[in-house]
Amino acid sequence: MTTKNVPKSFQKMIDRVAEVFPEHLKLQEMFQQCFLNTYTTTLIETKEGLPFVITGDIPAMWLRDSTSQIRPYLMVAEEDPEIATVIAGLVKQQMRFVQLDPYANAFNQEANGKGFQADKTEMSPHVWERKYEVDSLCYPIQLGYLLWQSTGSLAHFDTDFRQGVAAILDVWKTEQYHETKSPYSFEREDVRQSDTLNRDGKGTEVAYTGMTWSGFRPSDDACLYGYLVPSNMFAVVALGYLEEINVAYWRDASLTTEIALLKSEIEQGIQNFAVQEHPYYGEIYAYEVDGTGRKNFMDDANVPSLLAAPYLGFGDFTDPKYLATRDFILSRENPFYVEGSQLTGIGSPHTPDHYVWPIALSVQGMTATSLSEKLAILEMLTTTDGGTGFMHEGVNASNHNEYTREWFAWSNAMFSEFVLSLCGMCVKGSPLAKNIK
């Protein structure tokens, strides 16, 4: 595996964008830079010969980021077996990490003790950070499923994948009963409140809902209330993927029952507790709930988000409840919706006030039903890059030369996927592909 020579198969994608947008030279240049960024700068080979994908400016591998960074390459993997092999290797690496610690969100390339080793939780030298996030366990399942859909290969559903799935199911079932069964706690000293969990590391108290508890959001910020709705939506989708994989490959009757029950309980929990009446927007999804009546109306830029629900596969792009939620998200009622002179979109408490995240704009573009909205977002993204030709984490909505994270490959990949979708190209088997076709 090399990261020096760009495969010819990648050039087809670059050429396709130039073909669809022949007059938009800046877009062509930005797409090429962003599309190649993961492959040329973040892909490392481990001693075992498996891929290790760093985030960019942080030398660790997040299960979420690594999946999203590599995701656009699934379109290449359809015809390029070498890229398919790289992605299959990443799936194996991810599932090995899951087996090592299913509560961890980020890992070191080897057991070198780097990262947040002083945190009060069950750290190990291979773990960079141990913030438990439900979505971290969804993403490897998603990548494995979409690789199968893209290539037709089932070979990566091997022992490592199966054992990783067993660990995931155990954690999700345990965390349905967080108050009584969970072994997990997390505390970080002398930091802002969003970087640690209260109540001796157990987080805000919750009651049973059927949903599975999450300590942290995909922003790596602590949940206000433990049932993070977008992540539970993603878990329902991931469990559906496992049902399909089991039917096609494992054919395990007991696993069929286990997955179906868990999926049903989480889905019912979402409908019973996450659907709330908003004074202006009617029935919409809350971002977080605790099972006792408390709810948090907001959305965050990071994926999974409420905005990204149909992109991930929960519900339809035109579902009335989703559209009402979307209207709320893209309004001043969402405390993290930002309007500036150069950018308008969703930000995050993870970054400074008045910052919009390009990731959220890419998601908004991919979930928009009108071409005019998609093209307006494309214009925003291509004119607010801070003169770098790359996407960033957060960008000052009134001065795009002020941004966080110069080298943030996840954002580059999301932009690439959005641009390719405008060219009629989507990951095979993904909700986006089904929506476009």
Whether 68 is covered by a domain: the verdict is no
**What does the pLDDT read at residue 437?**
57
Residue 243: exposed, middle, or buried by beta-carbon count in 10 A (0-12, 13-18, 19+)? middle
328/299 Cα distance (integer angstroms):
9
- pLDDT by residue for the chain (437 residues), tens digit each? 334 588 999 999 999 999 999 999 999 999 999 999 999 999 999 999 999 999 999 999 999 999 999 999 999 999 999 999 999 999 999 999 999 999 999 999 999 999 999 999 999 999 999 999 999 999 999 999 999 999 999 999 999 999 999 999 999 999 999 999 999 999 999 999 999 999 999 999 999 999 999 999 999 999 999 999 999 999 999 999 999 999 999 999 999 999 999 999 999 999 999 999 999 999 999 999 999 999 999 999 999 999 999 999 999 999 999 999 999 999 999 999 999 999 999 999 999 999 999 999 999 999 999 999 999 999 999 999 999 999 999 999 999 999 999 999 999 999 999 999 999 999 999 999 988 75
**What does the pLDDT read at residue 5?**
80
Residue 30 Rama label (left phi>0; alpha psi -120 to 50; beta): alpha
Whether 408 is covered by a domain: the verdict is yes
Tokens of 327: 């209207």
Whether 255 is covered by a domain: the verdict is no
Residue 178 Rama label (left phi>0; alpha psi -120 to 50; beta): alpha
C-alpha angle with apex 383: 378 to 388, nearest 5 degrees? 115
Nearest to 395 by CA among 335, 352, 355: 355
Residue 9 in 3-state DSSP? helix
**What does the pLDDT read at residue 6?**
86
Whether 236 is covered by a domain: the verdict is no
110/319 Cα distance (integer angstroms):
45
Place of tokens 């991919």: 366
Whether 401 is covered by a domain: the verdict is yes
C-alpha angle with apex 29: 26 to 34, nearest 5 degrees? 120
Whether 370 is covered by a domain: the verdict is yes
Residue 202 Rama label (left phi>0; alpha psi -120 to 50; beta): alpha
**What does the pLDDT read at residue 436?**
78
* CA torsion angle 52 67 77 24 (round to 10): -110
Number of domains in the chain: 1
* The one-letter amino acid at 302: N
Whether 24 is covered by a domain: the verdict is yes
285/178 Cα distance (integer angstroms):
22
Tokens of 405: 């994270």
**What does the pLDDT read at residue 1?**
38
Whether 148 is covered by a domain: the verdict is no
Residue 414: give the domain boundaries. 9-41+335-437
105/61 Cα distance (integer angstroms):
8
